[in-house]
Chains A and B, each alone.
Chain A
């Protein structure tokens, strides 16, 4: 059951082959045995979780079921969930009990899903290895000496080790896709504005987007049906008709034009990852797709642009953590300024401070035009690159990350090398496009992800493209040794 698809779990629940409480307990037991080592979860609340499962069983008994009713999901600890501790991976919010539900949490609750717990993450989603979490590093289930990727590293490890049916994540520069690649599962970052950001703790508002992280594309489609939809509480949420993301899963791929950006296969990509990705693309040709060479000329600029815009927004978004109303406050201070300085110095970790400093700098009088404004202009050029590319293809493919999972500590002292982890994912956020990563094989026994980038609102087609591949391959069904 732990390796079953969401559809299979739903069917088993409906057929009363298993109850939601039993299914939940199955995962709770796995968490108990595996989580102490993996550290995928920050907060567990068995009583609350089981109470939800019992309610789901009541719904199931009445026949009042949605496709995820009774299924236990892990929630990234960036989503406020009422009465749950919500830390965002930071000491700043170590004791923060959210008094309200994020939109995403609401959607899962209404659908009758069960919240298994809050998953570990890089502090305020700033990181690509889950090493910046105040609550400790997360280990990659495929090799526990390695990182799971980040920032949704807890959700990633939880899926890879089957410590949940599926999980939520957020992706500001690759935080769903890069861990999906490093942990060997399927993750989708939707078009900006498809999933409401209400109640999702902000890192960089114009880039943040929540999405599903699951074993398969089909599971992601089922979850996106739950998560997507207009929410009037988020002004950047898009007012569109509700769509069924599972509708095109089984469409044939014949005639599909896949664009291969030359910049994604250039220097910086490890040879073994390149091989796996090329093999996957070759498989698509067999499925009837054709490939075309395209160019995204401003790819190299996406990292510097991102590291101006994201810290700028973050520096302002994180100003509310001042120790006045909630969150960490220094035990002793002499005056107001001292209280601010000490509370923030103690509450935030090094990477968060680094980004606040960068962001404050680039927004400062005299630097704004040269950095922030210039970055916004280049951001537009990056979006235009994709616009031009999609004139020649239906979908873009490439690697999700330049390499496989790296060793814990390997890049911790080298921020630039860490930032380069997101070289293939960041441009998608800057353009607001949807992107996903699917398991495409292994290199040296470590998972490799294939990235699929779609045009705006093309999630259904991307899921179709991914699903077709997953019908013929079993990479997504493989589990780390010793975790069965």
Chain B
């Protein structure tokens, strides 16, 4: 049988506010346990939540970025359950009326475009952490994270492969950083994906039973986990088994997914509107105020790059894949002043390759946009050839200085003086009579040999175009 996988994502993005969603405590990562737990975080008797306006602005920003409805009135609800890291015994979240409604995000999967529908995005507070093993025979509770603002972004089950799911997750990851609502740090848990996976016979309309893979903190793991889970579900069904709804965890060491101890029955969270918080009202003026401070979105910037810089669609898309790369590109162009395509070639090519190899983000690139522009200038004014430029770039990467310094130090300056080149050509022609004879007898290949000899004689510094031209003239 042909199977089809159906995937939906729920992503918890930690919002880049200074303080918690319902109190003034800091949300800075990595502080000593419970040093960022104020009376609200600890849920002392009598404390009350006050909504952080910045978290709301983040939610509006996201809504605008995915063309979603922003609810004029949304409700905070209590999700009741007992857990030691949940100090109030309930989580304040949004249930029936979320702040962000239906929207969509278009992603590139290979050379295909795919639109993923966003069901909703809602504001909620994070829980604290249980710390095991710090003290013998006891568990500790660290409430620093309790009350950290989250925007939970939920998609429709629109993705049909691990590749699509990962492409969506990556695009979302980039977007939330682009609009500056999340730092995107997956290791610190700022961006956590839960993936719902089900399979069904291809052509079937009915959704299969889903299992939810929790807390994937890298795209690589997400890909592996979905692939494993999909195959596991197919195998199970083909063996005559049934899939039971479950929450599963991915084990990066084995590459397998495994169901967590399943509870006998589903939790009843007894949601009800939080009487401590008024309904969240967002006016058109509030939305306009956020709009006025929105950065240009990737799609708009891509079109602009095509128009303004004459970049091919592919280049424009690649350059605007991240805000940091787009910023780098623009800085390069501004310092360079030459042909934009040259800049995009270098940013997408050599620079990206080196960054990948070193596992660095572009903002931490050892070669700055200004330095790269310096190199591009020397290519444009024929000081060095494209081939020489690769060596210069390597040296720049290694920290040997800017392009001009390296060119001077290594004596890489290209010879473009036609007198000097003519002398070299004459010398080569005299020394290679056989080749000359072959060329004259109609053997075209011999010409390339002569060019090579000239380049060798000049130690690679002769301008290849000029060598060609002079050789042709002399042999005519």
Residues of A bordering B, CB below 8 Å: 79-80, 86, 88, 93, 96, 98-100, 102, 197-202, 204-206, 232-236, 312-313, 315-316, 318-320, 322, 324-326, 336, 340, 360, 363-365, 368, 372
Contacts and interface: CB of A to CB of B under 8 A. Distances in A.
A316 B276 contact: no
Contact of A336 (B43, B48, B84, B275): B84
A322 B51 contact: no
Nearest to B50: A235
Contacts of A340: 82
B45 A206 contact: no
Given A80-B46, A199-B47, A319 B80 contact: yes
B141 A325 contact: yes
A201 B48 contact: no
A171 to B, nearest CB: 16
Given A96-B45, A235-B51, A316 B87 contact: no
Contacts of B87: 320, 324-325
Contacts of A102: 46
Contacts of B43: 320, 325
B241 to A, nearest CB: 29
Contacts of A86: 45
Interface string B232-275: 00000000000000000000000000000000000010111001
A79 B51 CA distance: 23
A324 B84 contact: yes
A206 B80 contact: no
Contact of B272 (A197, A201, A204, A312): A312
B46 to A, nearest CB: 4
Nearest to A124: B45
Main secondary structure of the interface of A (DSSP, over half): loop
B268 A234 contact: no
Given A316-B78, A316-B270, A363-B272, A236 B278 contact: yes
A369 to B, nearest CB: 11
Given A205-B275, A319-B89, A326 B270 contact: no
Given A316-B78, A319-B82, A340-B82, A360 B48 contact: no
B444 to A, nearest CB: 83
Contacts of B277: 235
Contact of A235 (B82, B90, B278): B278
Nearest to B79: A316
A202 B48 CA distance: 9
Contact of A100 (B44, B50, B278): B44
B39 interface: yes
B49 interface: yes
B270 A313 contact: no
Interface in B59-91: 78, 80, 82, 84, 87-90
B45 A93 contact: yes
A235 B48 contact: yes
Given A204-B275, A316-B90, A364-B270, 14 more contacts: A88-B45, A102-B46, A197-B46, A197-B48, A199-B47, A206-B275, A233-B50, A236-B276, A315-B80, A319-B80, A319-B88, A324-B84, A325-B87, A326-B42
A202 B46 contact: yes
A244 to B, nearest CB: 27
Contacts of A324: 84, 87, 141
Interface string B266-299: 0010111001111000000000000000000000
